Amino acid sequence: METTINENKKFISKLNIKDYELGSFDVYLETTKAYLKKLGLKEEEIEEKISSMPYNYRAAIIKRKSENELTDTYIGYIGISDYDALKGEANLLVSMNSNMKKEDYDIIVDTYIEYLESSLNISVIKNIKSYYKNKYQGLRPFKEERKILIPKRYIKDIPTKKELSEVNSWGYNPKLNYMRSIYINHKFVGVIGLTNVSPANRRASLSFYLNPNLGNELINEFGEMVIDEYLEYAHEIYFYNINAKALSGTLDESILNLSSMKKFAEIGAASELNNQLVSSNLYQHISDNYELEKIESNLYSSVPVPSKKVSDNYQEVIELGITNFKLIRPRSALSLGLDFNHLVDGHIEAMQNRNKFTIPLGEDKYFLQRGNEKYGIYKSVLNFSYLLVDNFGNYAGYVNILRQEGRHVEIEMGISPNFQGFGLGTRIVNAFYDELFRLGYVTITSQIFEFNKPSLKLHEKVADFNGIRINSYFANGELHNMHYYTKTEPEVKNKMLRK
């Protein structure tokens, strides 16, 4: 079966395997449906099969004409279903042209499975459902299962509805993964669990809620033991790096200081407490012993809140002081006379050159789909804070808020390989800092992976180093460190230094 690659939905290659390439599935969505129909599947079966594969983990298989040139020959698809990120398990779905040699089929399947293990931490393929020659089905044996050992002394089972209702009466509404109830002397006193869960990276954030009526002394006495028990449990279920945050001068800070968690960074003026800006202290716990990077900090526990109103009122265009480039809001592209699809294509082209595109891209370990306003690259680009464009309307990079909490934000940025080497990174990040400070944000943090050397070098020039979160990014079969850098609003920073 053959089809022509649609130029408006570019195929994004991910894996090169012998004479084939694996990449964007959505380019060939309709082709896949027609292909499965030809194999004898009914309409409802086809829709069920395709929808069972998560968007980001399915790929088309395309025949290569030469080393650098693709043909328009669609061979089939490969993807996973029934994905359990915590256990590292999935089923594999495969459908390939019956003209393919069995040895090629085996190489593609084996390479894809290796990719799943090295990039997604999927170590168990329970079943291979294949429509290759007589609907062959293979079975991969389980590896040793990870054991979950609960309850412990203080950490018990999943909270009951009655217990959660009691937590709500204390003024909390916890939204936690792997939530467990906390008991002291056979009495229910709170809940503990994880947020920001990233199973593929084996990392998560710790949160706990204790009955305030216990009193600070009792909470302090038992708090660190409860945390240490839960950390043991979290590591048992295969989370490697657990982090937590506590505001300076709070009971949470006291508990975390007493626990086995290690403080690895302090970001001044990153949170608000009782109408004052206070430092956020970052902690981590890992399953092996490492020497944490020492922090020499001159950040003080509180400073007056600036009289700025925080509002999301971005400028439509930010001039950079150079004639050839500017930052624009993505949703303003049409009104500025720019072709948004062309800008998306520029971002896709940059992402295909992964060795030179100097952005961490968050959890970029899966197959990249162009998508639309609801998912994929198109949606991401549409929702970026700013795109960097040249005078000809070409994509040159972007800056974006990843997440925000009060007046503190985390950002990401990237410069297209076609436009690197002109000092644009320094210009756009400083322009973005100024815009965010104008809006009323006070501290701006970037998390840079240790293998992203250009970005590390850039942030060493423009921001203050906070610390290192150990082994928190899983890629190519190993864990990597993440460096934290923060830019503080100048007026606030001066007050902190004078104090």
Residue 307: pLDDT over 70:
no
Please tell me whether residues 355 and 406 are part of one structural domain. Answer: yes
Higher-confidence position of 207 and 357: 207
Instruction: Find, among 258, 179, 183, the residue nearest to 217 by Cα.
Output: 258
- Amino acid (one-letter) located at 189: V
What percent of the chain shows pLDDT beyond 90? Answer: 40
Residue 135: pLDDT over 50:
no
Encode pLDDT of 460-469 as tens digits: 999 999 999 9
Number of Cβ within 10 Å of residue 401's Cβ equals 18
Our count of domains for the chain comes to: 3
Measured between alpha carbons, how far is 499 from 491 in angstroms, rounded to an integer? 13
Residue 143: pLDDT over 60:
no
Among the listed ranges 123-137, 254-268, 344-358, 390-404, which one has the minimum average pLDDT value? Answer: 123-137
Residue 298: pLDDT over 90:
no
Give the per-residue pLDDT at 71. 60
Measured in degrees and rounded to the nearest 5, phi and psi for residue 94 equal -135, 135
Dihedral of CA 447/235/160/254: which sign? negative
Give the per-residue pLDDT at 142. 38
Give the contacts of 293 (CB within 8 A, at least 6 positions apart).
264, 467, 468
Encode pLDDT of 310-344 as tens digits: 666 899 999 998 889 999 999 999 899 999 999 99
Measured in degrees and rounded to the nearest 5, phi and psi for residue 472 equal -120, 5
Please, is 194 exposed, middle or buried when counting C-beta atoms within 10 Å of its C-beta (0-12, 13-18, 19+)?
Answer: buried
Average pLDDT over residues 451-466: 91
Give the per-residue pLDDT at 459. 94
Please tell me whether residues 288 and 350 are part of one structural domain. Answer: no
Region of 374 on the Ramachandran plot (φ > 0 left; ψ -120 to 50 alpha; else beta): alpha
Please tell me whether residues 359 and 477 are part of one structural domain. Answer: yes
Number of Cβ within 10 Å of residue 80's Cβ equals 21
Please tell me whether residues 272 and 124 are part of one structural domain. Answer: no
Give the contacts of 389 (CB within 8 A, at least 6 positions apart).
325, 326, 327, 328, 338, 343, 395, 396
Number of H helices, E strands in the chain: 11, 22
DSSP string of 325-385, one letter each residue: EEEE-GGGTTTTT--HHHHHHHHHHHHH-TTT-----SS--S-----BTTBHHHHHHHT-S
Give the contacts of 29 (CB within 8 A, at least 6 positions apart).
50
Please tell me whether residues 222 and 243 are part of one structural domain. Answer: yes
Residue 104: pLDDT over 60:
yes
Tell me if 309 is assigned to some domain: no
Residue 139: pLDDT over 70:
no
Select the highest-mean-pLDDT range: 85-89, 167-171, 198-202, 304-308: 167-171
Tell me if 155 is assigned to some domain: no
Please tell me whether residues 103 and 166 are part of one structural domain. Answer: no
Distance in angstroms between the alpha carbons of the first and the last residue of the chain? 72
Residue 267: pLDDT over 90:
yes
Q: What is the C-alpha radius of gyration for the chain, rounded to an integer number of angstroms?
A: 25
- Out of 279, 304, 329, pick the residue that ends a domain: 304
Please tell me whether residues 485 and 343 are part of one structural domain. Answer: yes
Range of the domain at 294: 161-304
Tell me if 6 is assigned to some domain: no
* Bridge-based pairing state of the strands 443-449 and 408-415: parallel
Instruction: Find, among 109, 178, 167, 163, the residue nearest to 138 by Cα.
Output: 109
Tell me if 389 is assigned to some domain: yes
The single residue listed with the structure tokens 């294949």 is 130
Tell me if 152 is assigned to some domain: no
Tokens of 82: 């029934």
- Amino acid (one-letter) located at 386: Y
Among the listed ranges 93-102, 216-225, 363-372, 396-405, which one has the minimum average pLDDT value? Answer: 363-372
Work out the pLDDT band at 289, boundaries 50, 70, 90: low
Measured between alpha carbons, how far is 4 from 183 in angstroms, rounded to an integer? 62
Please tell me whether residues 44 and 175 are part of one structural domain. Answer: no
Tokens of 124: 């168990």
> Do residues 201 and 473 make contact, with C-beta atoms less than 8 angstroms apart?
yes
Instruction: Find, among 481, 477, 478, the residue nearest to 451 by Cα.
Output: 481
Residue 202, domain CATH = 3.40.630.30
Work out the pLDDT band at 428, boundaries 50, 70, 90: very high
Please tell me whether residues 328 and 260 are part of one structural domain. Answer: no
- Out of 269, 304, 339, pick the residue that ends a domain: 304
Please tell me whether residues 173 and 105 are part of one structural domain. Answer: no
Tell me if 7 is assigned to some domain: no
> Do residues 464 and 486 make contact, with C-beta atoms less than 8 angstroms apart?
yes
Three-state SS for 90-111 is EEEEEEECCCCCHHHHHHHHHH
- Amino acid (one-letter) located at 78: I
Torsion of CA 211, 214, 218, 219, to 10 degrees: 20
Please tell me whether residues 286 and 329 are part of one structural domain. Answer: no
Tell me if 31 is assigned to some domain: yes
Measured between alpha carbons, how far is 363 from 374 in angstroms, rounded to an integer? 18
Measured between alpha carbons, how far is 391 from 17 in angstroms, rounded to an integer? 39
Q: Which residues pair with 386 in a beta bridge?
A: 399
Please, is 438 exposed, middle or buried when counting C-beta atoms within 10 Å of its C-beta (0-12, 13-18, 19+)?
Answer: middle
- Out of 73, 107, 138, pick the residue that ends a domain: 138
For helices 424-439 and 453-462, the axis angle rounded to 10 degrees is 50
Tell me if 375 is assigned to some domain: yes
Please tell me whether residues 460 and 333 are part of one structural domain. Answer: yes
Residue 75: pLDDT over 90:
no
Residue 6: pLDDT over 50:
no
The single residue listed with the structure tokens 């969505």 is 29
Give the per-residue pLDDT at 344. 93
Residue 3: pLDDT over 50:
no
Average pLDDT over residues 397-413: 92
Among the listed ranges 28-42, 59-73, 344-358, 434-448, which one has the minimum average pLDDT value? Answer: 59-73
